[in-house]
């Protein structure tokens, strides 16, 4: 399940419902005063190892995340939340990976930025939760079995969990979670919904003998979505490939990795998301400011 760490000054935002949204507008401390309740920073695939010096595919993952966190806390208009959409840890979700992860994201709390984390195939729920709790034992940490919906002014964000087994590539939502999601969406039919989970949709089964690398129950997931037109976008990571597509009216947003790429020339980095009454504008912040796609903006529009 997703994990949420609330910044000290912004407690109350995740309590859900109109009261929490109103609290954002009127009840914020000095640090969050310049924040934007409709802006979210979208990160994925940070792959933080136990040791800060570890590199993979020519990338120091710890340094990449530290750089992104530096950019986030320097933003003049603070995002309402930072979402790391899975594969926070390098490969096996080790406690030491999360200790390093927690120290990388530590400065966000002081800057009033809330952190939301979903589980990737290289994550492990227990150690991640422990590390984030232990980092700041007196800080409010909510395990989100009951708090997986971020309600904001223009859209509800649903954070889902596709981790099946640690370090096994296959993703799955499962019947129980799909049932929960259907119920939560049905209770919020009036407002656009954006769904988040780590794995990519996979519409065709793998070759015989091969593993599913995307979501094994994509068919059931997309049937559920098709029946609920308030769902406007599905945001995922996993493939380490920045792209935006559309299928039957639903936007498919594949976030870039903060960490390494599987294909040369693609951008890594994070995505600045601005929600509005008619959609969401995304802007790519590439790790390499000289990358031709850095600053690329895409407007997702919905009625």
Between 13 and 90, whose beta carbon lies closer to Zn ion? 90
Nearer to Zn ion, 87 or 124 (CB): 87
Q: Which residues pair with 298 in a beta bridge?
A: 282
Q: What are phi and psi of 215, to 5 degrees?
A: -80, 120
- For Zn ion, the binding residues in 160-199 under the rule CB under 5 A are none
- In whole angstroms, give the CA distance from residue 127 to residue 114: 20
Q: How far is the CB of 56 from Zn ion (least distance, A)?
A: 10
The answer to whether residues 91 and 167 touch, using CB atoms and an 8 Å cutoff, is yes
Among 45, 123, 124, 217, binds Zn ion (CB under 5 A): 45
Residue whose CB is less far from Zn ion, 32 or 256: 256
Between the CA of residue 203 and those of 45, 174, 214, what are the distances in Å?
Answer: 22, 16, 9
Number of residues that bind Zn ion (CB under 5 A): 2
Q: CA–CA separation, 78 vs 117, rounded Å?
A: 18
For residues 210-229, which are near Zn ion according to CB under 5 A?
Answer: none
Q: Alpha helix (H) ranges present in the chain? A: 17-26, 61-74, 95-110, 125-135, 174-186, 218-226
Q: Is 37 or 42 the residue whose CB approaches Zn ion more closely? A: 42
Residue number, 45 or 272, with CB nearest to Zn ion = 45
Tokens of 33: 């005063």
Instruction: Name the token pair of 123.
Output: 């994550």
Token digits of residue 238: 């996993």
* Closest separation in Å from C-beta 45 to Zn ion: 4
Closer residue to Zn ion, CB minimum distance, 88 or 108: 88
Is 287 within 8 Å of 268 (Cβ atoms)? Answer: yes
CB of 273 to Zn ion, least distance (A): 20
Q: How far is the CB of 182 from Zn ion (least distance, A)?
A: 28
One character per residue 71-110, x = contact with Zn ion (rule: CB under 5 A): ----------------x-----------------------
Shortest distance (Å) from residue 127 CB to Zn ion? 17
Interface contacts to Zn ion, rule CB under 5 A: 45, 87
């Amino acid at each position: 399940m997703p994990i949420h760490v609330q910044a000290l000054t912004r407690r109350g935002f995740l309590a859900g419902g109109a009261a929490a949204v109103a609290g954002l507008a009127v009840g914020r401390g000095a640090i969050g005063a310049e924040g934007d309740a409709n802006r979210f920073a979208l990160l994925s695939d940070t792959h933080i190892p136990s040791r800060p010096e570890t590199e993979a595919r020519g990338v120091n993952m710890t340094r990449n995340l530290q750089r992104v966190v530096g950019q986030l806390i320097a933003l003049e208009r603070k995002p309402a939340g930072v979402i790391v959409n899975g594969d926070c840890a390098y490969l096996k979700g080790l406690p030491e990976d999360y200790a390093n992860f927690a120290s990388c994201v530590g400065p966000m709390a002081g800057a009033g930025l809330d952190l939301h984390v979903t589980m990737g195939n290289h994550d492990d729920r227990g150690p991640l939760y422990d590390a984030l709790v232990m980092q700041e034992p007196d800080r409010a940490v909510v395990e989100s079995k009951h708090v997986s919906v971020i309600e904001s002014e223009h859209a509800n964000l649903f954070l889902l969990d596709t981790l099946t087994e640690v370090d096994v590539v296959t993703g799955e939502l499962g019947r129980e979670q799909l049932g929960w999601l259907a119920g939560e969406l049905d209770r919020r039919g009036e407002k656009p919904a954006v769904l988040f989970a780590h794995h990519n949709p996979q519409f065709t089964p793998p070759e015989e003998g091969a593993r599913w690398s995307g979501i094994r129950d994509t068919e059931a997931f997309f049937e559920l979505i098709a029946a609920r037109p308030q769902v406007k976008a599905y945001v995922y990571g996993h493939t380490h490939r920045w792209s935006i597509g559309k299928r039957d009216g639903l936007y498919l947003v594949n976030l870039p990795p903060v960490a390494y790429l599987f294909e040369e020339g693609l951008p890594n980095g994070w995505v600045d998301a601005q929600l509005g009454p008619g959609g969401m504008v995304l802007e790519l912040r590439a790790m390499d400011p000289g990358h031709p796609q850095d600053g690329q903006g895409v407007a997702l529009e919905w009625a």
